[in-house]
Amino acid sequence: MSRRRRGRGRMQPTFPPATWNCYDRTVGNLSRTTNPSEAWHNRLNTLMGKPHPSFYHVLEQLRQELTEIENDNERLESGLSPPKKRKKTEEIDVRIRRVVENYEEYEANGDIPKYPRSIGHILAGRF
């Protein structure tokens, strides 16, 4: 987060907490990771089929991907459910959300160090 400098306080962090803090995303039930975008990039690389595709090949593949995205949107709008997460991932998300929603209690009790420790235990697989 930030390093101490001898006798001069702390340095400004390279990445401020607003950049990496997932509190709002967790409370809003949004993804805390970049996995969805990484999965899309992997899909796009697979669609291209070669390391250095021509401009027209890329254009054609992007058109096909756009068609697929539009079809997915129509399916969602017609009431079909989005793909389900794995059960273990869903359980972890619920447990983390429960801890995050109780942040004010940690703060009121002066147990702020216990808060990240609780999330750490969940992510480490400890019960």
Number of H helices, E strands in the chain: 7, 2
- The parent domain of residue 65 ranges over 53-83
Pair 75, 97 in one domain: no
Pair 127, 90 in one domain: yes
What's the number of domains the chain is made of? 2
The pLDDT assigned to 123 comes to 86
pTM for the whole thing? 0.58
Whether residue 5 lies inside any domain: the answer is no
Name the band, by pLDDT with cuts 50, 70 and 90, for residue 67.
very high
Pair 116, 91 in one domain: yes
Exposure letters 91-116 (e unless 16+ CB within 10 A, then b):
eebebbeebbeeeeebeeeeeeeebe
The pLDDT assigned to 11 comes to 76
Average pLDDT over residues 77-106: 88
Whether residue 29 lies inside any domain: the answer is no
Pair 100, 74 in one domain: no
